[in-house]
Protein backbone atom coordinates (compact mmCIF):
# COMPACT_ATOMS: atom_id res chain seq x y z
CA UNK A 1 0.00 0.00 0.00
CA UNK A 2 1.17 3.52 -0.74
CA UNK A 3 0.29 6.27 1.69
CA UNK A 4 0.69 9.83 0.45
CA UNK A 5 1.04 12.40 3.25
CA UNK A 6 -0.43 15.88 2.77
CA UNK A 7 2.02 18.71 2.06
CA UNK A 8 1.92 20.09 5.58
CA UNK A 9 2.22 16.74 7.36
CA UNK A 10 4.34 16.86 10.52
CA UNK A 11 7.09 14.43 11.52
CA UNK A 12 4.84 13.21 14.31
CA UNK A 13 2.05 12.39 11.81
CA UNK A 14 4.53 10.54 9.60
CA UNK A 15 5.80 8.59 12.63
CA UNK A 16 2.23 7.73 13.56
CA UNK A 17 1.53 6.23 10.11
CA UNK A 18 4.76 4.20 10.29
CA UNK A 19 3.76 2.97 13.76
CA UNK A 20 0.34 1.82 12.50
CA UNK A 21 1.92 -0.01 9.55
CA UNK A 22 4.33 -1.82 11.90
CA UNK A 23 1.52 -2.68 14.31
CA UNK A 24 -0.15 -4.51 11.41
CA UNK A 25 3.02 -6.58 10.94
CA UNK A 26 4.34 -4.83 7.82
CA UNK A 27 7.46 -2.79 7.16
CA UNK A 28 7.47 0.88 6.18
CA UNK A 29 9.59 2.62 3.62
CA UNK A 30 9.66 6.43 3.83
CA UNK A 31 10.37 8.43 0.70
CA UNK A 32 10.75 12.18 1.23
CA UNK A 33 10.09 14.37 -1.81
CA UNK A 34 10.46 18.14 -2.09
CA UNK A 35 6.75 18.70 -1.49
CA UNK A 36 5.43 15.64 0.28
CA UNK A 37 6.34 12.38 1.88
CA UNK A 38 5.21 9.02 0.53
CA UNK A 39 5.21 5.94 2.76
CA UNK A 40 5.23 2.45 1.29
CA UNK A 41 3.82 -0.42 3.38
CA UNK A 42 5.78 -3.56 2.58
CA UNK A 43 4.34 -7.03 3.21
CA UNK A 44 0.87 -8.52 2.79
CA UNK A 45 -0.98 -5.30 2.21
CA UNK A 46 -4.37 -7.05 1.95
CA UNK A 47 -4.46 -6.82 5.74
CA UNK A 48 -4.57 -3.03 5.48
CA UNK A 49 -7.64 -0.89 4.80
CA UNK A 50 -7.07 2.26 2.76
CA UNK A 51 -9.92 4.02 4.60
CA UNK A 52 -8.26 3.36 7.95
CA UNK A 53 -5.08 5.20 6.86
CA UNK A 54 -6.98 7.99 5.10
CA UNK A 55 -8.66 8.81 8.39
CA UNK A 56 -5.29 9.40 10.13
CA UNK A 57 -4.15 13.03 10.55
CA UNK A 58 -1.77 14.26 7.85
CA UNK A 59 -2.70 11.55 5.32
CA UNK A 60 -3.94 12.69 1.92
CA UNK A 61 -4.49 9.36 0.19
CA UNK A 62 -3.87 5.64 0.66
CA UNK A 63 -4.00 3.09 -2.15
CA UNK A 64 -3.41 -0.59 -2.68
CA UNK A 65 -0.82 -1.69 -5.21
CA UNK A 66 -1.69 -5.38 -5.28
CA UNK A 67 -5.08 -6.56 -6.63
CA UNK A 68 -7.38 -7.61 -3.77
CA UNK A 69 -8.54 -10.72 -5.66
CA UNK A 70 -5.63 -13.06 -5.25
CA UNK A 71 -7.12 -16.44 -6.25
CA UNK A 72 -9.21 -15.36 -9.23
CA UNK A 73 -6.74 -12.72 -10.44
CA UNK A 74 -4.39 -13.33 -13.34
CA UNK A 75 -1.56 -11.69 -11.41
CA UNK A 76 -0.71 -14.98 -9.68
CA UNK A 77 -2.12 -17.43 -12.24
CA UNK A 78 -1.11 -16.50 -15.76
CA UNK A 79 -2.60 -19.43 -17.70
CA UNK A 80 -6.27 -19.62 -18.69
CA UNK A 81 -8.21 -21.97 -16.45
CA UNK A 82 -10.35 -24.58 -18.13
CA UNK A 83 -13.34 -25.77 -16.09
CA UNK A 84 -14.29 -29.39 -16.54
CA UNK A 85 -18.04 -29.99 -16.59
CA UNK A 86 -18.57 -33.76 -16.74
CA UNK A 87 -15.79 -34.00 -19.33
CA UNK A 88 -16.87 -30.88 -21.26
CA UNK A 89 -14.20 -28.17 -21.17
CA UNK A 90 -15.21 -24.55 -20.64
CA UNK A 91 -12.49 -21.95 -21.12
CA UNK A 92 -10.34 -23.74 -23.69
CA UNK A 93 -10.30 -23.56 -27.48
CA UNK A 94 -13.77 -25.02 -27.74
CA UNK A 95 -16.61 -22.55 -27.16
CA UNK A 96 -19.61 -23.88 -25.21
CA UNK A 97 -23.16 -22.79 -25.93
CA UNK A 98 -25.49 -23.55 -23.01
CA UNK A 99 -29.10 -23.38 -24.14
CA UNK A 100 -32.50 -24.10 -22.66
CA UNK A 101 -35.67 -22.53 -21.37
CA UNK A 102 -35.83 -19.76 -18.80
CA UNK A 103 -37.87 -22.02 -16.55
CA UNK A 104 -38.66 -25.69 -16.22
CA UNK A 105 -42.40 -25.94 -16.99
CA UNK A 106 -43.59 -29.45 -17.85
CA UNK A 107 -41.98 -32.85 -18.56
CA UNK A 108 -43.13 -32.51 -22.21
CA UNK A 109 -41.65 -29.03 -22.62
CA UNK A 110 -38.35 -30.18 -21.07
CA UNK A 111 -38.19 -33.36 -23.18
CA UNK A 112 -38.67 -31.38 -26.37
CA UNK A 113 -36.29 -28.63 -25.30
CA UNK A 114 -33.55 -31.18 -24.47
CA UNK A 115 -33.99 -32.83 -27.86
CA UNK A 116 -33.76 -29.46 -29.64
CA UNK A 117 -30.77 -28.23 -27.62
CA UNK A 118 -28.93 -31.46 -28.42
CA UNK A 119 -29.94 -31.39 -32.11
CA UNK A 120 -28.64 -27.82 -32.44
CA UNK A 121 -25.20 -29.05 -31.32
CA UNK A 122 -25.13 -27.58 -27.79
CA UNK A 123 -23.39 -29.69 -25.15
CA UNK A 124 -24.99 -28.26 -22.00
CA UNK A 125 -28.51 -27.29 -21.03
CA UNK A 126 -29.95 -24.53 -18.84
CA UNK A 127 -33.32 -24.26 -17.09
CA UNK A 128 -34.60 -22.60 -13.92
CA UNK A 129 -36.40 -24.58 -11.24
CA UNK A 130 -36.14 -21.80 -8.65
CA UNK A 131 -36.98 -18.49 -10.32
CA UNK A 132 -36.18 -15.02 -8.97
CA UNK A 133 -39.22 -13.08 -10.17
CA UNK A 134 -39.85 -9.37 -9.71
CA UNK A 135 -43.44 -10.05 -8.65
CA UNK A 136 -44.28 -12.49 -5.85
CA UNK A 137 -47.44 -13.37 -7.82
CA UNK A 138 -45.53 -14.48 -10.93
CA UNK A 139 -44.60 -18.16 -11.47
CA UNK A 140 -41.78 -18.88 -9.00
CA UNK A 141 -40.60 -22.12 -10.62
CA UNK A 142 -41.44 -25.72 -9.70
CA UNK A 143 -38.61 -25.93 -7.17
CA UNK A 144 -37.38 -29.43 -6.33
CA UNK A 145 -39.92 -31.01 -8.68
CA UNK A 146 -38.43 -28.88 -11.46
CA UNK A 147 -34.95 -30.24 -10.72
CA UNK A 148 -36.26 -33.78 -11.16
CA UNK A 149 -37.99 -32.91 -14.45
CA UNK A 150 -34.84 -31.22 -15.70
CA UNK A 151 -32.58 -34.12 -14.75
CA UNK A 152 -34.83 -36.67 -16.49
CA UNK A 153 -35.06 -34.65 -19.72
CA UNK A 154 -31.36 -33.81 -19.94
CA UNK A 155 -30.15 -37.31 -19.08
CA UNK A 156 -31.52 -38.76 -22.32
CA UNK A 157 -28.99 -36.69 -24.29
CA UNK A 158 -26.20 -36.67 -21.69
CA UNK A 159 -26.52 -32.92 -21.30
CA UNK A 160 -25.03 -31.55 -18.08
CA UNK A 161 -27.51 -29.24 -16.37
CA UNK A 162 -27.12 -25.60 -15.34
CA UNK A 163 -29.66 -24.22 -12.89
CA UNK A 164 -29.97 -21.29 -10.50
CA UNK A 165 -29.50 -21.57 -6.74
CA UNK A 166 -31.18 -18.77 -4.81
CA UNK A 167 -31.00 -19.98 -1.24
CA UNK A 168 -28.24 -21.78 0.65
CA UNK A 169 -30.93 -23.98 2.24
CA UNK A 170 -31.44 -25.60 -1.19
CA UNK A 171 -27.78 -26.45 -1.66
CA UNK A 172 -28.03 -30.00 -0.28
CA UNK A 173 -30.94 -30.69 -2.64
CA UNK A 174 -28.85 -29.38 -5.55
CA UNK A 175 -26.06 -31.79 -4.54
CA UNK A 176 -28.56 -34.64 -4.17
CA UNK A 177 -29.80 -34.05 -7.71
CA UNK A 178 -26.18 -33.74 -8.77
CA UNK A 179 -26.76 -30.40 -10.52
CA UNK A 180 -23.72 -30.06 -12.78
CA UNK A 181 -23.36 -26.28 -12.74
CA UNK A 182 -24.78 -23.98 -10.07
CA UNK A 183 -25.90 -20.63 -11.43
CA UNK A 184 -25.78 -17.61 -9.13
CA UNK A 185 -28.13 -15.01 -10.59
CA UNK A 186 -27.64 -11.29 -11.00
CA UNK A 187 -29.73 -10.55 -7.89
CA UNK A 188 -27.51 -12.72 -5.70
CA UNK A 189 -24.08 -11.71 -6.93
CA UNK A 190 -23.37 -10.07 -3.60
CA UNK A 191 -25.25 -12.52 -1.40
CA UNK A 192 -22.01 -13.27 0.41
CA UNK A 193 -23.38 -16.06 2.61
CA UNK A 194 -24.66 -17.88 -0.49
CA UNK A 195 -21.28 -17.38 -2.20
CA UNK A 196 -19.48 -18.79 0.85
CA UNK A 197 -21.72 -21.88 0.79
CA UNK A 198 -21.12 -22.67 -2.89
CA UNK A 199 -17.46 -22.02 -2.20
CA UNK A 200 -17.47 -25.07 0.09
CA UNK A 201 -18.56 -27.38 -2.76
CA UNK A 202 -16.54 -28.42 -5.79
CA UNK A 203 -19.37 -27.80 -8.27
CA UNK A 204 -18.71 -25.47 -11.19
CA UNK A 205 -20.44 -22.13 -10.53
CA UNK A 206 -21.67 -19.62 -13.10
CA UNK A 207 -21.47 -16.25 -11.38
CA UNK A 208 -23.67 -13.75 -13.17
CA UNK A 209 -22.79 -10.09 -12.95
CA UNK A 210 -24.96 -8.02 -10.64
CA UNK A 211 -27.08 -5.72 -12.78
CA UNK A 212 -25.36 -2.67 -11.30
CA UNK A 213 -22.10 -4.23 -10.20
CA UNK A 214 -18.69 -2.92 -11.14
CA UNK A 215 -16.15 -5.35 -12.52
CA UNK A 216 -14.14 -5.06 -9.34
CA UNK A 217 -17.16 -5.96 -7.16
CA UNK A 218 -17.84 -8.91 -9.45
CA UNK A 219 -14.26 -10.15 -9.13
CA UNK A 220 -14.46 -9.83 -5.35
CA UNK A 221 -17.65 -11.91 -5.33
CA UNK A 222 -15.83 -14.61 -7.27
CA UNK A 223 -13.03 -14.35 -4.71
CA UNK A 224 -15.58 -15.19 -1.98
CA UNK A 225 -16.35 -18.48 -3.75
CA UNK A 226 -12.68 -19.18 -4.43
CA UNK A 227 -11.66 -18.41 -0.83
CA UNK A 228 -13.83 -21.33 0.31
CA UNK A 229 -11.79 -23.70 -1.88
CA UNK A 230 -13.98 -23.85 -5.00
CA UNK A 231 -12.02 -22.47 -7.94
CA UNK A 232 -14.45 -23.76 -10.59
CA UNK A 233 -15.92 -20.35 -11.37
CA UNK A 234 -17.28 -19.06 -14.66
CA UNK A 235 -18.12 -15.36 -15.04
CA UNK A 236 -21.29 -14.51 -16.96
CA UNK A 237 -21.93 -11.01 -18.31
CA UNK A 238 -25.71 -10.63 -18.67
CA UNK A 239 -26.15 -6.92 -19.28
CA UNK A 240 -26.15 -3.99 -16.89
CA UNK A 241 -28.74 -1.32 -16.05
CA UNK A 242 -28.67 1.98 -17.92
CA UNK A 243 -30.98 4.87 -18.83
CA UNK A 244 -31.88 3.20 -22.14
CA UNK A 245 -35.34 1.66 -22.32
CA UNK A 246 -35.28 0.21 -25.86
CA UNK A 247 -33.72 -3.01 -24.57
CA UNK A 248 -33.70 -4.84 -21.25
CA UNK A 249 -30.06 -4.23 -20.28
CA UNK A 250 -26.87 -3.04 -21.95
CA UNK A 251 -24.58 -5.90 -22.91
CA UNK A 252 -21.22 -4.74 -21.59
CA UNK A 253 -18.99 -6.15 -24.32
CA UNK A 254 -16.09 -4.15 -22.87
CA UNK A 255 -16.24 -6.28 -19.74
CA UNK A 256 -15.15 -9.34 -21.75
CA UNK A 257 -11.57 -8.23 -22.62
CA UNK A 258 -11.28 -6.55 -19.21
CA UNK A 259 -12.16 -9.77 -17.39
CA UNK A 260 -9.91 -11.83 -19.65
CA UNK A 261 -7.08 -9.51 -18.59
CA UNK A 262 -7.93 -9.51 -14.87
CA UNK A 263 -8.81 -13.16 -14.34
CA UNK A 264 -7.69 -16.56 -15.60
CA UNK A 265 -11.23 -17.93 -15.23
CA UNK A 266 -13.64 -18.42 -18.16
CA UNK A 267 -16.05 -15.70 -19.22
CA UNK A 268 -19.39 -16.38 -20.86
CA UNK A 269 -22.19 -14.08 -22.02
CA UNK A 270 -25.96 -14.26 -21.65
CA UNK A 271 -27.28 -12.36 -24.70
CA UNK A 272 -30.92 -13.19 -23.82
CA UNK A 273 -31.18 -11.25 -20.56
CA UNK A 274 -29.05 -8.47 -22.05
CA UNK A 275 -31.21 -7.67 -25.09
CA UNK A 276 -34.48 -9.05 -23.76
CA UNK A 277 -35.72 -9.76 -27.31
CA UNK A 278 -35.10 -12.91 -29.34
CA UNK A 279 -34.23 -10.96 -32.49
CA UNK A 280 -31.28 -9.29 -30.73
CA UNK A 281 -29.75 -12.56 -29.55
CA UNK A 282 -27.81 -13.52 -32.74
CA UNK A 283 -26.08 -10.12 -33.07
CA UNK A 284 -25.18 -9.96 -29.38
CA UNK A 285 -23.94 -13.55 -29.45
CA UNK A 286 -21.66 -12.84 -32.39
CA UNK A 287 -20.32 -9.71 -30.69
CA UNK A 288 -19.63 -11.68 -27.51
CA UNK A 289 -17.64 -14.41 -29.26
CA UNK A 290 -15.75 -11.89 -31.38
CA UNK A 291 -14.76 -10.08 -28.18
CA UNK A 292 -13.33 -13.26 -26.65
CA UNK A 293 -16.15 -14.90 -24.70
CA UNK A 294 -15.63 -18.59 -23.90
CA UNK A 295 -19.29 -19.45 -24.22
CA UNK A 296 -22.89 -18.31 -24.16
CA UNK A 297 -25.93 -18.92 -21.98
CA UNK A 298 -28.93 -18.67 -24.31
CA UNK A 299 -32.64 -18.98 -23.64
CA UNK A 300 -34.66 -21.14 -26.01
CA UNK A 301 -38.11 -22.71 -25.85
CA UNK A 302 -39.91 -25.28 -28.01
CA UNK A 303 -42.73 -22.78 -28.34
CA UNK A 304 -41.55 -19.30 -27.25
CA UNK A 305 -45.04 -17.73 -27.45
CA UNK A 306 -46.16 -20.08 -24.70
CA UNK A 307 -43.16 -19.75 -22.40
CA UNK A 308 -44.14 -19.14 -18.77
CA UNK A 309 -41.23 -16.81 -18.26
CA UNK A 310 -39.17 -14.51 -20.55
CA UNK A 311 -41.18 -15.48 -23.66
CA UNK A 312 -39.97 -12.44 -25.63
CA UNK A 313 -36.33 -13.39 -25.52
CA UNK A 314 -36.50 -17.13 -26.18
CA UNK A 315 -35.24 -18.51 -29.48
CA UNK A 316 -37.17 -21.37 -31.08
CA UNK A 317 -35.41 -24.56 -32.21
CA UNK A 318 -34.87 -23.32 -35.76
CA UNK A 319 -33.41 -20.02 -34.57
CA UNK A 320 -31.07 -21.83 -32.16
CA UNK A 321 -29.81 -24.06 -34.94
CA UNK A 322 -29.24 -21.08 -37.25
CA UNK A 323 -27.43 -19.25 -34.46
CA UNK A 324 -25.08 -22.20 -33.94
CA UNK A 325 -24.29 -22.18 -37.67
CA UNK A 326 -23.47 -18.48 -37.77
CA UNK A 327 -21.37 -18.70 -34.62
CA UNK A 328 -19.02 -21.33 -35.96
CA UNK A 329 -17.75 -18.82 -38.55
CA UNK A 330 -17.10 -16.20 -35.85
CA UNK A 331 -15.37 -18.82 -33.72
CA UNK A 332 -13.08 -19.74 -36.61
CA UNK A 333 -12.25 -16.08 -37.21
CA UNK A 334 -10.96 -15.73 -33.64
CA UNK A 335 -9.10 -19.05 -33.64
CA UNK A 336 -11.71 -20.98 -31.69
CA UNK A 337 -14.16 -23.75 -32.49
CA UNK A 338 -17.72 -24.59 -31.52
DSSP for residue 305? G
185 binds, among ligand PEP, Mn ion, none (CB under 5 to 8 A by kind): ligand PEP
> Judged by CB, which is closer to ligand PEP: 37, or 191?
191
Residue 221 interacts with ligand PEP (CB under 6 A): yes or no: no
Task: Pick the binder of ligand PEP from 109, 186, 201, 263 (CB under 6 A).
Answer: 186
Residue 132 interacts with ligand PEP (CB under 6 A): yes or no: yes
Residue 248 interacts with ligand PEP (CB under 6 A): yes or no: no
> Judged by CB, which is closer to ligand PEP: 48, or 207?
207
Task: Pick the binder of Mn ion from 164, 252, 262, 310 (CB under 5 A).
Answer: 310
For residues 164 and 132, is the Cβ–Cβ distance under 8 A?
A: yes
> Residue 9: phi, psi to the nearest 5?
-60, 135
Q: How many CB atoms lie within 10 A of CB 70?
A: 15
For the CB of residue 64, give the shortest distance to ligand PEP in the complex, in Å.
Answer: 30
Residue 180 interacts with Mn ion (CB under 5 A): yes or no: no
Q: How many CB atoms lie within 10 A of CB 284?
A: 22
Q: Half-sphere exposure of 82 toward its Cβ, with a 13 Å CA cutoff?
A: 10
Residue 238 interacts with ligand PEP (CB under 6 A): yes or no: yes
For the CB of residue 296, give the shortest distance to ligand PEP in the complex, in Å.
Answer: 12
Strands 2-5 and 59-63: antiparallel
Residue 319 interacts with Mn ion (CB under 5 A): yes or no: no
> Judged by CB, which is closer to ligand PEP: 185, or 295?
185
For the CB of residue 186, give the shortest distance to ligand PEP in the complex, in Å.
Answer: 4
Task: Pick the binder of ligand PEP from 151, 203, 208, 260 (CB under 6 A).
Answer: 208
Residues paired with residue 233 on neighbouring β-strands, in sequence order: 205
Q: How many CB atoms lie within 10 A of CB 291?
A: 18
Residue 128 interacts with ligand PEP (CB under 6 A): yes or no: yes
DSSP for residue 302? S
Q: Give the residue from 264, 270, 314 showing the smallest Cα distance to 295.
A: 270
For residues 67 and 265, is the Cβ–Cβ distance under 8 A?
A: no
> Residue 221: phi, psi to the nearest 5?
-65, -40
**Which residues of the shown chain bind Mn ion in the complex (CB under 5 A)?**
102, 310
**Which residues of the shown chain bind ligand PEP in the complex (CB under 6 A)?**
102, 128, 132, 185-186, 208, 238, 270, 273
Amino acid sequence: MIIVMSSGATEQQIDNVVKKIKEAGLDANISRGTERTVIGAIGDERKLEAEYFEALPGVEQAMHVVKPYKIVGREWHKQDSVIDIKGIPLGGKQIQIIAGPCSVETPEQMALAAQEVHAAGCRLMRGGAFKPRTSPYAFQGHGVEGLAMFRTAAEKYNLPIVTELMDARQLDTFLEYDVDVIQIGTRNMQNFDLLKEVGRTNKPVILKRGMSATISEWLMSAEYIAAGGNHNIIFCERGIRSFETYYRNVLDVTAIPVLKKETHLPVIVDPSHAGGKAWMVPALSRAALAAGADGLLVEMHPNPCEAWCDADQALNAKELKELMGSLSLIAQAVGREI
